[in-house]
Structure formats: structure tokens, C-alpha cells
Amino acid sequence: EPEVTQTPSHQVTQMGQEVILRCVPISNHLYFYWYRQILGQKVEFLVSFYNNEISEKSEIFDDQFSVERPDGSNFTLKIRSTKLEDSAMYFCASSRPPGSNQPQHFGDGTRLSIL
């Protein structure tokens, strides 16, 4: 069965550095998402992306964050000038059109640790 794949599985970065988290969505999906889960807390929506532009973003997704689909397969989340509180699991998801009967499929996540 097709899967969403995320790399790396674990990223350790010094505070203030930039990180790029990578995702390969399911090939016939056109809607892409990033979520994060701080340890012990709820999974939180960050951003959704369709047709090469952001379709919705949460209040968490400020100027520190950006997303990009640099080619036909990858979907990336860039975090600039990382802070300690950015430490979390970051999940990528993809789906067919939202509002239909198609679920969002999630990757295994990237654990980001900011030192």
C-alpha cells in the first residue's frame, strides 16, 4: 500500500539554525499537510498546501515557517532560526480532495530536537 515517507526520522539542531524537513507524499495525492506534536500534547495543524500554494495555515505557522514543493515528488517544511520550543514530532500528510470521503494519510514523522 502506498505510504507517505518522511526524512530524516530524527534531526538534532542547534538553536538558531535552519532545518528542512522532507516528505514524499502518496503519488496520486494533490493535497499536502504538516502537523506537529509537542511531547505529551495534542497533534496540531500547521499548514495545508494545494496547487503550489498554501490553502490554510494555523496561528502557529508564522514567518519562521515556510513550505515548498520543489519538484514533482517532495514536499518540504523549512523552519528558520529554530527555537527550543520548536522541538516536536513533525508529521507530513497527504490526501485527495478534503471534504470528500478520503482520509489524510500520515508519515511516521520527523523528531526534531533543538539544543
**Residue ranges in contact with another protein by CB under 8 A:** 4, 6, 31, 33, 35, 41-45, 48, 55-56, 58, 91, 93, 98-99, 101-109, 111
d(CA 105, CA 48): 13
Of 18 and 56, nearer to another protein (C-beta) is 56
Q: How far is the CB of 79 from another protein (least distance, A)?
A: 19
Question: Which residues, at least 6 apart from 91, have a Cβ–Cβ distance to it below 8 Å?
Answer: 6, 34, 35, 36, 37, 43, 106, 107, 109
Q: How far is the CB of 24 from another protein (least distance, A)?
A: 14
Q: How far is the CB of 35 from another protein (least distance, A)?
A: 7
- The CA-to-CA distance between both ends of the chain, in Å, stands at 37
Residue 63 CB-half CA count within 13 A: 0
Of 6 and 87, nearer to another protein (C-beta) is 6
